[in-house]
Amino acid sequence: MDPFSALSLATSIVQFVDFATKIVHGAHQIYQTGAGAAAENADIELCASELHNLCTRLDVSKLPHPRSADDDALCRIADRCVSISKELSSLLGKIKAKNPDSKWQCMISAAKTQLKKDERDEILARLSQCRAQLDSQLSRLAQ
């Protein structure tokens, strides 16, 4: 076997072992919590839910008519936060173990968590950016 093939094989083995270790660790964590989700995903789901609730409680009907451009911007940002938080909650719901008492379901959930990590992080980054814009808009309106 030539050196490049050997190096490629060794790299593949290391990547597989790393991936398998993450899945086993994640499955153990999911099984131990009993919630059907990794602690990190549960925390993210809670924050997304709270942001969703906050944005839906913004009472647009109490805003003066005609509304100012700042009021309209606040409404658009709040609607976008609701939309992104629903998208994130949907993804996390698909990842969650159907039966948290089943070790097999926890293993499947851990594998889904690893496979969907990039997608979750991308949605989370968009939600974080939207939340920051919402904070900025609320601060501007409070002045």
Distance in angstroms (rounded) separating the CA atoms of residues 86 and 48 = 8
- Predicted confidence (pLDDT) per residue in 90-116, tens digit: 999 999 988 888 889 889 999 999 999
Give start and end residues of each alpha helix (H) in the chain: 3-33, 39-57, 69-95, 103-115, 117-142
* Collapsed DSSP state (helix, strand, coil) of residue 107: helix
- Predicted confidence (pLDDT) per residue in 36-59, tens digit: 788 888 888 999 999 999 888 876
Rounded to two decimals, the pTM is: 0.78
Contact 36, 98 (CB under 8 A): yes
Distance in angstroms (rounded) separating the CA atoms of residues 139 and 143 = 7
* 64 has pLDDT over 70: no
* Collapsed DSSP state (helix, strand, coil) of residue 98: coil
- Predicted confidence (pLDDT) per residue in 3-24, tens digit: 878 888 888 889 888 888 888 8
